[in-house]
Amino acid sequence: MTQILQFLMLPLVHLIVALIAILTFIALNGLILVYVERKVAGFIQRRPGPFEVGPHGLLQPLADALKLVGKQLVMPRGADRILFWVAPLLSFAPVAICLLPIPFGPYLLGLNVNLGLLLVLAFSGLNVLALCLAGWGSNNKYALLGAARAVAQSVAYEIPLLLSVLCVAFTCGSLSFVDITASQTRGLLSWNVFSQPLAFLIFFVSALAETNRAPFDLPEAESELTAGFHTEYSGMGFGLFFLAEYSYMIVVSAVASVLFLGGWSGPFFSGHWWMLGKIYALILIMMWFRWTYPRVRFDQLLNICWKWLIPLSLINLLGTALIINLVR
């Protein structure tokens, strides 16, 4: 009897533990990334960045978080009460599920599903809905414009993202992250980034757009739309959007490093260190972009997608399929 119960409970316990671990990881990373982002911005701009709270400002993100938590929750007059508060939760909640199937080491993963890639793509799509609801529910014209932009942008960039991911799925013949990583463990040259460089570039650009990072941060373009979809949010409402943005950065970087950079494979150190290193390297590049480039205009953004990325990724996909067929 107990054995049967154990057998039943084990996957559930595993899942719960994994979820808790992932949530902790996300929260911790939110704090670290806020600090890193501000330090990177500071160094690029020849200034120290946060410095006063704690040694070298290390406790600054904690102070910021405390401030956000402590603030009164304000809702504008005429806003939709339910949608307004559902939006930030909806933006943040799927992140945990997105990180579930990603292997941080040979055995360090939350859930080994053979459709992991699909799971991540499906749940990360929910973020658009959250931005849309936030913009619509705020009863604010800027927020509405930001939401409209967010929807158009995310829907457009989902296509090249999917197409470039498909290339990798074709070459590896699997949608499971574990299998994809396993196929890249034969040294540096077996990484997919070398066999699929174009797919990697397209994926990275689309990922920047999907996560609303500069130079594609149009939904919150503060010079035009003050703060875009989260104009009316303060306190923890804003905090959750903020946390979600950084978490999605981790998700896309994790997916990119698994798909293209060999995931946990690497010499000398254990797998999870390699994985973390790759994730952070990608995130640092994203930050570097943000503090270098101006913002792309809305129609240009869509032009890049429809006129360049989608045709290129289609050609890439067809080429990949052709080569695979020929090789077989």
Partner 1 sequence: MLDKPSFSLDGDYYSSRFSELGKGEGDTLVLNLGPQHPSTHGVLRVIVELDGEYVRRAEPVLGYIHRMHEKMGEVKTYVQYLPNMGRVDYLHALAWNWAYVGAVEKLMGLEVPSRAEYIRVITCELNRICSHLLWWGAYVLDLGGFTPILYAFDDREILMDILQIPTGSRLTYCYYRFGGVSADLTETFLTQTRNFIERFKTRIPMYHDLVTGNMILRGRCEDIGALPAEMARRYGATGPVLRGSGVAYDVRRVEPYSVYDQFEFDIPVGKNGDAMDRYDVRMAEMEQSVRIIEQALNQIPDGPFINPDVPDRIMPPKGEVYFAVEGARGKIGVYLVSDGTARPYRLKLRAPGFSNLHVFAELAQGTILADAVSILGSLDLVIPEIDR
Partner 2 sequence: MTTTIQKTMKGLWSLIVGLKVTGKEFCRPWITVHYPRQEVTNLDTFRGHIDLVPVLDDPEKPLCIVCRRCEEVCPSGCIRIEGHVPGEEKEVPVRQLLLVSNISLPHSAAREPICATDKTLRVLDGFSLNYNLCSLCGLCVQSCPVSSLTFSSDVYLAGASRKDFEFDLLQRLIDRAGSTKLKKAA
CA distance 138 to 84: 6
Task: Output the DSSP codes for 232-256.
Answer: T--HHHHHHHHHHHHHHHHHHHHHH
Using alpha carbons, select from 186, 14, 192 the residue that is nearest to residue 109: 14
Q: Measured from the CB atom, is 141 or 186 closer to partner 1?
A: 141
Q: How far is CA 239 from the centre of its chain?
A: 16
Compare residues 148 and 321 and give the one whose CB is closer to partner 1: 148
Give the contact letters, 249-288, x = binds to partner 2 (CB under 8 A), - = no: ---------------------------------------x
Q: Which is nearer to partner 2, 51 or 170 (CB)?
A: 51
Q: Which amino acid is at 52?
A: E
Among 90, 193, 221, 286, binds partner 1 (CB under 8 A): 221
How many residues of this chain interact with partner 2, rule: CB under 8 A?
A: 14
Among 44, 59, 75, 198, binds partner 2 (CB under 8 A): 44
Which C-beta is closer to partner 2: that of 47 or that of 328?
47
Residue type, 142: Y
Query: Judged by CB under 8 A, which of 12, 299, 326, 328 binds partner 1?
Result: 299
Residue from 14, 24, 43, 107 touching partner 2 (CB under 8 A): that is 43
Residue of 213, 230, 278, 290 that binds partner 1 (CB under 8 A)? 290
Contact between 306 and 155 under an 8 Å Cβ cutoff? The reply is no
Tokens linked to 18: 């994994």
Rg (alpha carbons) of the chain, rounded to whole number: 20
The rounded distance, in Å, linking the Cα atoms of 289 and 41 is 10
The distance of closest approach from Cβ of residue 250 to partner 2 in the complex, given in angstroms and rounded to an integer, is 22
Query: What is the Cα–Cα distance from 165 to 158, expressed in whole angstroms?
Result: 10
Instruction: Residue 96: name the closest of 7, 6, 20 by CA.
Output: 20
Number of chain residues interacting with partner 1 (CB under 8 A) = 31
- Please choose which of partner 2, partner 1, none residue 43 contacts, taking the beta carbon within 5 to 8 angstroms, the exact cut-off set by kind: partner 2
DSSP letter for each residue of 146-158: HHHHHHHHHHHHH
Binding-site member from 107, 269, 293, 306 for partner 2 (CB under 8 A):
293
Greatest C-alpha distance within the chain:
66
| Options 9-17, 49-57, 108-116, 297-305: segment touching partner 1 (CB under 8 A) | 297-305
CB contact at 8 A, 142 and 223: no
Of the two residues 213 and 230, which places its CB atom closer to partner 2 in the complex?
213
267: number of Cβ within 10 Å: 7
In the complex with partner 2, the residue whose CB is nearer, 272 or 295, is: 295
- Could you say whether residue 46 binds partner 1 (CB under 8 A)? yes
- Residue 299 burial class via C-beta count within 10 angstroms: exposed 0-12, middle 13-18, buried 19 and up: exposed
From 113-121, 139-147, 157-165, 258-266, give the range in contact with partner 1 by CB under 8 A. 139-147
Examine residue 47 and tell whether it contacts partner 2 (CB under 8 A). yes
Distance CA 132, CA 147 (A): 5
Among partner 1, partner 2, none, the one that 290 touches (CB under a kind-dependent 5 to 8 A) is partner 1
Q: Is 48 in the site for partner 2 (CB under 8 A)?
A: yes
Binding site for partner 1 (CB under 8 A): 41, 44-47, 77-78, 141-142, 145, 148-149, 214-215, 217, 221-224, 226, 290-300
Binding site for partner 2 (CB under 8 A): 40, 43-48, 51, 288-289, 291-293, 308
